[in-house]
Amino acid sequence: MMDSKTAKLDIVLEKALQETILSREELLFLLTLSEESDLAKVFNAARQARTRYFANKIFIYGFVYFSTYCRNECAFCLYRKSNHSLKRYRKTDLEIMETALSLVKSGVHVVDLTMGEDPYYFDNRESGFERLIRTVELIKKSTEIPIMISAGVVPEEVLREFREAGVDWYATYQETHNPDLYHKLRLGQSYTERMERKKLAHNLGFLIEEGLLTGVGDTDDDLVNSLEAMRDLGADQVRVMSFVPQKGTPMHQFASVSPHRELLIIAIMRLVFPDRLIPASLDVDGLKGLADRLNAGANVVTSVIPPHSGLAGVSNHSLDIEDGNRTISRITPVLAQHGLVAASKDEYAEWVLNRKSRS
Ligand code: SAM
Ligand code: MD0
Ligand code: SF4
């Protein structure tokens, strides 16, 4: 005899696959699941939803963390201003250019240019960003690669200039849509300003990525609120990452989250947003964590980093970088083991074009 939880799970998953909007109560129900067999069912449904929109094609993003200086004090982040336990770097325009070109050559679909809110750029407003914008324009003109900017809450004028320079994506993660929790995580930063800058970016024609952290004191209710906020925002790419405790930060001792939570949230995101991009980040568990994230319904592999370039990751400063595990040649066999393949450049470009014409 099927128990009532299993019967309910089957109904909810069926409803999700028919793309009927799930109720708050149904989403909360999914978030309480923890048994292996229940999770397997959710992941299976998520993969079906992914196949409907993306067949067996996976997108791959290169990551260039070009400055690890930051004026902010995010409680969860290694790179917060007052953490003096690490050596920071700021890559030159030439180094940014060279890394971007080598990533493009290796076959990534997007180059994600990321930094802390580095005062070198932020203290001089427009003029501080001028050379970076020219560099980005040059990368775009010479490679036509889709570009993502993850540079924090950049001034409005700068955002417009990035758009004119040909940047396609603007990524700034709220981490949570519970303003109280936000203020404990992103100390001293405005919730509204961060949210509004994303909306402005969308209106300016950027595709936008919204992101969550889990394992930072987020409740199931918070998560359902986040899914609703992501829907309202119309985010084109949505992500979740497990919090990884960082030495020298206030959250160093914070209790770690069960690994299945990120996977379950990825799968629920896939069911709620079947046609969006959802990353499996190599930044949390490295290459060994990739298969689980793909099995949960992710369709983008993020954070490909060329070895020997002196570049860091975010939630794991050096994991898998120098040994070359964050490269396309290591990712492709994992895709193949799961019946997946890297999409072509044209397939990615087509997705971007379709998505832009919708908004
Ligand atoms: N400085 C910019 C910003 O904060 O928007 C761009 C950097 S963005 C790559 C930093 C993101 O990495 C954060 O929004 C957060 O989601 C994630 N992150 C940072 N520290 C983390 C940690 N310790 N564990 C997991 N994810 C983390
Ligand atoms: C990643 N480490 O993709 C990167 C980063 C920023 N846009 C992305 C969190 O996993
Ligand atoms: Fe700075 Fe971004 Fe880290 Fe916050 S998450 S401290 S803004 S680098």
Residue located nearest, by CA, to atom 5 of ligand 1? 152
pLDDT tens for residues 148-188? 999 999 999 999 999 999 999 999 999 999 999 999 999 99
Compute the average pLDDT of residues 71-89. 97
- Looking at ligand 1, which atom is closest to the CA of residue 284? 25
CA of 285 to the centre of ligand 2 (A): 13
Which amino acid type is present at position 144?
A: E
Q: Whose CA is nearest to atom 21 of ligand 1?
A: 315
What's the DSSP call for residue 23? Answer: P
Distance, CA of 305 to CA of 219 (rounded, Å): 32
- Confidence label for 316 from pLDDT (cuts 50, 70 and 90): confident
pLDDT for 125 equals 66
What pLDDT shows up at residue 98? 97
Residue from 108, 152, 175, 46 nearest 332 by CA: 108
Q: Cα 187 from chain centroid? A: 21
- Residue closest via CA to ligand 3's atom 4 equals 74
Q: Which of 264, 263, 244 is nearest to 254 (CA)?
A: 244
Q: From the CB of 112, is ligand 3 less than 6 Å away?
A: no
pLDDT at 159: 98
CA of 314 to the centre of ligand 1 (A): 6
Instruction: List Cα–Cα distances, 334 to 52, 288, 344, in angstroms.
Output: 21, 9, 17
pTM listed for this prediction: 0.98
Q: What is d(CA 16, CA 273) in angstroms, rounded to the nearest whole number?
A: 10
Q: What is the mean pLDDT of residues 77-106?
A: 97
- 283 Cβ below 6 A of ligand 2: yes
Work out the angle between the directed axes of helices 93-106 and 125-143 (0-180°, nearest 10).
Answer: 30
Architecture of domain 36-358: Alpha-Beta Barrel (3.20)
| 348: confidence class by pLDDT, cuts 50, 70, 90 | very high
Q: Which atom of ligand 1 is nearest to the CA of 117?
A: 1
Ligand 3 center from residue 72 Cα (angstroms): 6
Environment class of 74 (CB within 10 Å of its CB; exposed 0-12, middle 13-18, buried 19+)? buried
Other C-beta atoms lying within 10 Å of the C-beta of residue 279: 23
Place of tokens 């040994």: 323
DSSP 227-278: HHHHHHHT-SEEEEEE----TTSTTTTPPPPPHHHHHHHHHHHHHHSTTSB-
Q: Does the beta carbon of 303 sit less than 6 angstroms from any atom of ligand 2?
A: yes
Please state, as a whole number, how many other Cβ atoms lie within 10 Å of the Cβ of residue 272.
Answer: 21
Average pLDDT over the chain, rounded to an integer: 97
Q: What is the pLDDT of residues 4-46, one digit of tens each?
A: 999 999 999 999 999 999 999 999 999 999 999 999 999 999 9
In this structure, which amino acid lies at residue 173? Y
Ligand 1 centroid, distance to 83 Cα (angstroms) = 15
* Residue positions counted in the chain: 359
Q: Are 234 and 355 in contact (CB under 8 A)?
A: no
